[in-house]
């Protein structure tokens, strides 16, 4: 286990939080974990009070975007302890993202140890309301100071946390999604499989335009022919057609390997639900709806867990899915995943790290 020095804050912000109106990412907890990379290795890191840190105008990430991040959660179990869900997958994905933008790998066990220690220090920030959680944001970036397009030689890894409610204001109510026609997010061989800052910057304009038109998110199509479904800006996408769960394959090279995506596919196999990981054209989705074969559409992601989709708009046509109601598949997956996360359902896949001792 890493030798992590802990310096606790002298003035907690806990009492200033409106716990009945958390929103998402509004409040930041008292402490962060920080590790620095220099001379070819990461140090053990330390836990310190959340606060600002100085940077020079020439810090390379401000100019060239050498930055990656992750998103995961801690949950208050029914017995009062804290559950971390599948964080080993986040550790692996963080390093995959880093490999795409020349960021050195961070030891996966050190990632787990740091996260457990940080949660122990800020355990009182894990909400006690069912449906709320502590969102965890690791971020790694080059912090060298220079002008010139090349990799930094030094890096900083920060883990911060934030108590959150539902990601979408609609909660579990089905959301409206606009299918992108004039923009693309990623292409094969690009950064679509990595959780990099640049991927999200590329999505901002289309997302802003979608929200002004009354849609919660954008569904991206492939970057070449703009026919095949990729993913939604904040989640992977799944379709139920004729009782089969269909989702774009990771082999497309332009979608993120979602932890919740994998969780749903694993549970679908447990439930005996037919699965098809294949390319699916947006025209096929609309045709299936016209023929009465499109049963459900829902997104999967850490932030929202499961997000039912009630409307899709593409090329001037809008379809309403399942009468804007939560479908049986989406509800079953949501109930089962959150049941495991909150300690209400047996964890048969060893997905949970449980933290009981906060001393």
Question: What pLDDT is stored for residue 166 in this prediction?
Answer: 85
Over residues 180-227, the pLDDT tens digits come to 988 998 888 889 999 999 989 999 999 999 999 999 999 999 998 899
Residues 286-293: what's their mean pLDDT? 98
Question: What pLDDT is stored for residue 316 in this prediction?
Answer: 94
Residue 172 pLDDT level (bands cut at 50, 70, 90)? confident
What value does the CA radius of gyration of the chain take, rounded to a whole number of Å? 21
Q: Is the pLDDT score of 21 beyond 90?
A: yes
Task: Give Cβ neighbours of residue 147 (< 8 Å, ≥ 6 apart).
Answer: 58, 63
Task: Give Cβ neighbours of residue 35 (< 8 Å, ≥ 6 apart).
Answer: 42, 43, 44, 45, 46, 106, 110, 114, 156, 157
Question: What pLDDT is stored for residue 1 in this prediction?
Answer: 58
> Cβ-count burial of 309 within 10 angstroms (0-12 exposed, 13-18 middle, 19+ buried)?
buried
Residue of 146, 183, 133, 173 whose CA lies nearest to 308: 173
Packed helices 328-341 and 259-271: angle between N→C axes, nearest 10 degrees: 110
Q: Is 46:6 a contact under the CB 8 Å cutoff? A: yes
Question: What pLDDT is stored for residue 162 in this prediction?
Answer: 98
Question: What pLDDT is stored for residue 59 in this prediction?
Answer: 98
List the beta bridge partners of residue 247: 277
Annotated domain spans of the chain: 5-165, 175-341
Is the whole-model pTM more than 0.75? yes
Q: Is 138:90 a contact under the CB 8 Å cutoff? A: yes
Q: Is 276:240 a contact under the CB 8 Å cutoff? A: no
Residue 24 and residue 193: Cα distance in Å, rounded? 24
Residue 106 pLDDT level (bands cut at 50, 70, 90)? very high
Pairing of strands 133-142, 67-69: antiparallel
Residue 141 and residue 35: Cα distance in Å, rounded? 11
CA dihedral (197, 282, 336, 111) in degrees, to 10, reads: -20
Residues 318-338: what's their mean pLDDT? 96
Residue 229 and residue 237: Cα distance in Å, rounded? 8
Residue 143 pLDDT level (bands cut at 50, 70, 90)? very high
Residues 293-314: what's their mean pLDDT? 96
pLDDT above 70 as % of the chain: 99
CA 104 remoteness from chain centre: 21
Classified by CATH at the fold level, domain 175-341 comes out as D-amino Acid Aminotransferase; Chain A, domain 2 (3.20.10)
Residue of 276, 255, 256, 278 whose CA lies nearest to 265: 276
Residue 359 pLDDT level (bands cut at 50, 70, 90)? low
Task: List phi, psi (to 5°) of 232.
Answer: -90, 160
Task: List phi, psi (to 5°) of 347.
Answer: -90, 90
Q: Which CATH architecture has domain 5-165?
A: 2-Layer Sandwich (3.30)
């Amino acid at each position: 286990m890493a030798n992590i020095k802990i310096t606790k804050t002298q003035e907690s912000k806990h009492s200033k939080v409106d716990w009945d109106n958390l929103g998402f990412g509004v409040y930041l907890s008292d402490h962060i974990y920080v590790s620095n990379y220099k001379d070819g290795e990461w140090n053990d890191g330390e836990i310190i009070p959340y606060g600002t840190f100085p940077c020079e105008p020439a810090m390379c990430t401000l100019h060239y975007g050498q930055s990656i991040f992750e998103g995961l959660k801690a949950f208050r179990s029914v017995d009062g302890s804290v559950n971390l869900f599948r964080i080993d997958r986040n550790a692996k994905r963080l390093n995959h993202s880093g490999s795409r933008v020349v960021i050195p790998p961070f030891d996966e066990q050190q990632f787990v140890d740091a996260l457990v220690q940080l949660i122990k220090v800020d355990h009182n920030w894990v909400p006690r309301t069912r449906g709320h959680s502590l969102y965890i944001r690791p971020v790694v970036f080059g912090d060298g100071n220079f002008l010139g397009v090349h990799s930094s030689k030094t890096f900083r890894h920060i883990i911060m946390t934030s108590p959150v409610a539902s990601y979408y204001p609609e909660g579990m109510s089905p959301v409206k999604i606009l299918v992108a026609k004039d923009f693309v997010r990623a292409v094969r061989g690009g950064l679509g499989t990595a959780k990099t800052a640049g991927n999200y910057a590329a999505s901002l304009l289309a997302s802003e335009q979608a929200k002004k038109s009354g849609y919660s998110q954008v569904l991206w199509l492939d970057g070449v022919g703009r026919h095949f479904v990729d993913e939604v800006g904040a989640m992977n996408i799944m379709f139920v057609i004729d009782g089969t769960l269909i989702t774009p394959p990771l082999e497309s090279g332009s979608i993120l390997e979602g932890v919740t995506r994998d969780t749903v596919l694993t549970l679908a196999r447990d439930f005996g639900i037919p699965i098809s990981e294949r390319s699916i054209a947006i025209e096929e989705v609309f045709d299936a709806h016209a023929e009465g074969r499109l049963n459900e559409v829902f997104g999967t992601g850490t932030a929202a867990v499961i997000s039912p989709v009630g409307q899709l708009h593409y090329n001037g046509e809008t379809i309403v899915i399942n009468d804007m109601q939560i479908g049986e598949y989406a509800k079953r997956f949501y109930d089962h995943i959150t049941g495991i996360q909150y300690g209400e359902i047996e964890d048969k896949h060893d997905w949970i790290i449980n933290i009981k001792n906060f001393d």
